[in-house]
A and B are shown apart, each in its own frame.
Chain A
Amino acid sequence: MSEVLVLVDHVDGAVRKPTYELLAIAKRIGSPSAVFIGGADKADAVASAVKGYGADKVYVVDDAEIKGYLVAPKAEVLQQLAEKSSPAAILIPASGEGKEIAGRLAIKLSSGLITDAVDVQVKGEDIVTTQSVFAGNFTVDAKVVKGTPIIAVKPNAAAPEQGDGAGAVEQFAATISDAAKTAQIVAAQPRQATGRPELTEAAIVVSGGRGTGGDFAAVEGLADALGAAVGASRAAVDSGWKPHTFQVGQTGKVVSPQLYVANGISGAIQHRAGMQTSKTIVAVNKDEEAPIFELVDFGVVGDLHTVLPKVTEEIEKRKG
């Protein structure tokens, strides 16, 4: 069975959930080979983690020489691994950096690239991807018709599947050109843990907009009662009420949870682009004319500062 390369998404050896989702997709296509580019001392832990989600092979690429450089060296690593293993496909997490790695790799391998896949299925001979475009108003099914399919996959595109793969570890010594060692990470400030689920991974997202007036207490209270992630509109981010990493929308995160609760958010097209594929949508807004109400399964016309605390209180009461 052909190998399918999966680039492991990790922070200092802590494997992130999208990796497991990619492994589940890889199994549909062939034999999953995880590619870990990182510290040699973390290799064992990573190998056993990805084995547990079906990796048959784990390529370990020691990053001592390339740590601190952006994008280009990782594209070279994948190019060399692809030339060695002739994979059926290469799956990469659709993060900012992941997509750029995929872009450079596509040129190197003269292969077609599909980004932001929300689903990947094998249909006959083809690997068919699904994307959500035009602010979520359309879905597009596509396939790669030249070279090795390179697919950047969005979080939540598949459910992780536990179950051991063969997990054979292979050290891979890539040759990195000096030209790839250019853009350098001068400083990095790791994101602070919020104690809440990751925005793009959460089953429920509770967001606040300009209508919060900067006071997110009611939004966060409801989020915690529901075990949800907290999101924000760009207006709230631009006002400095929440960091940019909270932003939902065209130029923020695209989320597709089971439940999205928009509070004090008008529902501009750029915000919709980030949330309108959510399964169930709820909004609380003072203005009954707010466009967000066109999207909702359930809407409350009212002041979020009075409605949300009551909702939270009632939920807590029911949870007992």
Chain B
Amino acid sequence: MTLSNIVVLVKYVPDATGDRKFEADNTVDRVGVDGLLSELDEYAVEQALQIKEKRSGEGGEEITVTALTVGPAEAEAAVRKALQMGADKAVHVQDDAIAGSDAVATSLVLAKAIEKIGVPELIIGGLASTDAGMSVVPAMLAERLNLPQVTLAAVVETQGDQVRIKRDGDTATEVIGGTLPLVLSVTDQSGEARYPSFKGIMAAKKKPLDALSLADIGVDASEVGLDAAWTQVEETSARPPRTAGEIVKDEDGSGATALVEFLASKKFI
């Protein structure tokens, strides 16, 4: 099988270094906080570009990388960044009804959008969303599209229709193999993501960016959004701030003595 299309899943998320919080309806505040392309999805874009570059160089394959996002109007920024990094096309599924969707609904919208634009040989996602990160959307998408999944890759290699990854499990490091078409997800171990170059930023302005609504992809509004969610948040609460601790300067071993006293007072020794 030749590889002609890669779809990269990119999510627009609140900036982790900003003041992330919840709305009154307990959904993530996606408007009051600056957002950006999830850092962890940059690694997915990077792998897509590396696979494209390697295979078009060695095998002469013509590969189109499409960045796909589901999110509010602002989420366009996420696919724009992917285009600046080097993706060829972008698709943005946007519909007011999607607000508040859980992973189950998000995976439905992604699956329908992918069916609409054409199921590619390779779909690449990130390790997790940096906001509500569950690390489940790629697996759910594989389930919905009835595709194999090779996920949580620290190292990715492709050759012909074979994909091999290395992944760090809890109890073992595993090499996992699969045959295209499949869903892949990558971790932040897979290789530094590139910065958009000036040329890339300029070129991105001319690249196609399609907006799709739920109607366009054949999803009924009742299947998504907060009201359709299969889980319900009862309550969110900010963790009480930690009370200021005691900080001592070490001078000729005084720090060590003080630390031992502290540990002893807490019964750790």
Q: Is the CB of A311 within 8 A of B256?
A: yes
Given the known interface contacts A97-B169, A103-B103, the answer about A145 and B229 at a Cβ–Cβ threshold of 8 Å is yes
For the complex, what is the distance from the CA of A103 to the CA of B175, rounded to whole Å? 22
Interface size on B, residues (CB 8 A): 82
Q: A96 contacts B136, CB within 8 Å? A: no
Nearest residue (CB) in B for A314 is B260
Question: Assuming A107-B107, A179-B146, A183-B176, is B189 touching A143 (CB within 8 A)?
Answer: no
CB-based contact B182/A182 at 8 Å: yes
Chain A contacts for B143, CB-based, 8 A = 72, 75, 103-104, 107-108
Which secondary structure characterizes the binding site on chain A?
A: mixed
**Residues from chain A with Cβ under 8 Å of B262 in the complex:** 282, 297-298
Interface readout for A290-320 with B: 1 if CB under 8 Å, 0 if not?
0001111111111100111011001100110
Given A95-B169, A244-B189, A251-B187: A113 and B253 interface contact (C-beta under 8 Å): no
> Which residues does chain B contribute within 8 Å of A298, judged by CB atoms?
245-248, 258-259, 262
CB nearest to B189 among chain A residues: A244
- Choice from A95, A100, A140, A143 contacting B170 with Cβ under 8 Å: A95
Task: State which size class the interface on A falls in.
Answer: 35 or more
**Is B44's beta carbon under 8 Å from chain A?**
no
CB of A104 within 8 A of CB of B139, answer yes
**Nearest-Cβ distance from residue B137 to partner chain A, whole angstroms:** 8
CB distance from B247 to the nearest CB of A (A): 4
- A314 contacts across to B, CB distance below 8 A: 256-257, 260
Query: What residue of chain B has the Cβ atom nearest to residue A234's Cβ?
Result: B188
A315, B242: Cα distance in complex, Å: 27
1/0 per residue, CB under 8 A from B, across A245-288: the answer is 10000110000001100000000011000001100111010001
Interface contact B103-A113, CB-CB below 8 Å? yes
Interface check A191, CB cutoff 8 A: yes
Alpha-carbon distance A142/B246, docked complex (angstroms): 36
Cα separation A53 to B226 with both chains bound (whole Å): 38
- Please give me the residue from chain B that is nearest to A132 by CB atom: B239
Known: A72-B148, A96-B152, A102-B136. A185 touches B236 (CB 8 A): no
Known contacts A106-B230, A107-B144, A108-B143; A191 and B171 CB within 8 A of each other: yes
Interchain CB contact (< 8 A) of A99 among B134, B144, B249: B134
Q: Taking the complex as formed, is B250 at the interface, i.e. its CB lies under 8 A from any CB of chain A?
A: yes
Chain A, residue nearest B104 (CB):
A106
A145:B20 contact, CB within 8 angstroms? no
Q: Select from chain A the residue with minimum beta-carbon distance to B243.
A: A297
* Partner among A95, A113, A115, A300 whose Cβ is within 8 Å of the Cβ of B258: A300
Do B176 and A299 have beta carbons less than 8 Å apart? no
Q: Is the CB of B135 within 8 A of A115?
A: yes
Chain B residue numbers with a CB within 8 Å of A139 are: 236-237, 239
* B148 and A142 within 8 A (CB): no
Closest 10 CB pairs of A and B: A302-B250, A112-B230, A182-B148, A103-B136, A310-B256, A100-B139, A300-B255, A146-B230, A299-B247, A103-B139
Which residues of B come within 8 Å of A, CB atoms? 16-17, 20-22, 26, 40, 102-104, 107, 127-128, 130-132, 134-140, 142-144, 146, 148-152, 154, 164, 167-179, 182, 187-189, 229-239, 242, 245-250, 253, 255-260, 262-264, 266, 268-269
